[in-house]
Amino acid sequence: MSLGSMQSQMNTAYIGIGSNLGDRHQNCLTAVDMLRKSRECKLTGHSGWYLTDPVGVKDQEQYVNGVASVSTELSANDLLRMLLAIEKHMGRVRRTRWESRIIDLDLLLYGREVINEKHLTVPHPLMHLRRFVLVPMVELEPNLTHPSLGLTMSELLAQLPEDGQEVCFTEEQ
């Protein structure tokens, strides 16, 4: 085995961040800070923060949403485990789908990889249908191409109707 094949490869991953319980903005900032302090990842950027209505459910508080990018040698599965550990550390308990949450960390993209496994699907299967993901993605990387759809984040956002998915920039940074 050559030295080159033993070295880990750095991958850029994009993580959706959201919260609609407690101090939503601070929860998102705490998650970003935990990513920044991680030894396994290097935070390479994050979008601004956006207020959004919940999608798929009613009678919930608005979310604060954004996207962060990291550079990592972790595999996609190991990165997902790290994100779930951050959620748990911050107090998230999973009971039902799309319930209110103190923090939600979604692995949106992992390099150019397309992964379809029991507990991990990358690209995130709904990201191209959600303005609360695409608006911050366009802010961060407008020309980034979706690995399986072949369209840039800007093109995906332009195709998505606003009906029921209003996204408002929040001044809190």
92 catalytic residue (yes or no): yes
Give me the chain's average pLDDT, please.
91
What domains does the chain contain, in order, with CATH numbers?
9-170 (3.30.70.560)
Q: Is 101 a catalytic residue?
A: yes
pLDDT at 6 over 90: no
Average pLDDT over residues 46-59: 88
> Residue 7 — very low, low, confident or very high, per pLDDT cuts 50/70/90?
low
Q: Which residues are CB-neighbours of 98 under 8 A, at least 6 positions away? A: 54, 56, 57
- Judge whether residue 84 has pLDDT over 80: yes
Catalytic residue among 92, 94, 130, 163: 92
| 50-54, 58-62, 81-85, range with the lowest pLDDT | 58-62
Distance CA 76, CA 18 (A): 20
Confidence of residue 173 (pLDDT cuts 50, 70, 90): low
CA 114 to each of CA 109, 147, 159: distance values in angstroms, whole numbers, following the listed order: 9, 7, 22
Q: What is the pTM of this model?
A: 0.91
* For range 135-155, the mean pLDDT: 98
Please report where in the chains the tokens 């999608």 appear, as a residue: 55
pLDDT score of 155 more than 90: yes
Rounded mean pLDDT of 106-131? 96
- Look up tokens 């991953």; give the residue: 13
Q: Stretch 5-30: mean pLDDT, rounded?
A: 90
**Would you state the pLDDT for residue 62?**
92
pLDDT over threshold 80, residue 5: no
Residue among 103, 81, 108, 105 at smallest CA distance from 93? 103
How far is the C-alpha of 27 from the C-alpha of 24, rounded, in Å?
A: 5
pLDDT band at 165; cut points 50, 70, 90: confident
Other residues' Cβ atoms within 10 Å of the Cβ of residue 158? 11
Point out the catalytic residue in the list 24, 53, 104, 131.
104
Catalytic residue among 24, 101, 130, 131: 101
Active site (annotated) includes residue 106: yes
Point out the catalytic residue in the list 23, 36, 39, 106.
106
Between CA 90 and CA 168 the distance in angstroms is 25
| Cα distances (angstroms) measured from residue 54 to each of 12, 18, 23, 34, 57 | 28, 10, 16, 25, 6
Closest CA to 93 of 104, 82, 77: 104
Residue 163 is among the residues annotated as catalytic for this protein: no
Per the model's pLDDT, the better-predicted residue between 169 and 6 turns out to be 169
Average pLDDT in the 54-69 region? Answer: 89
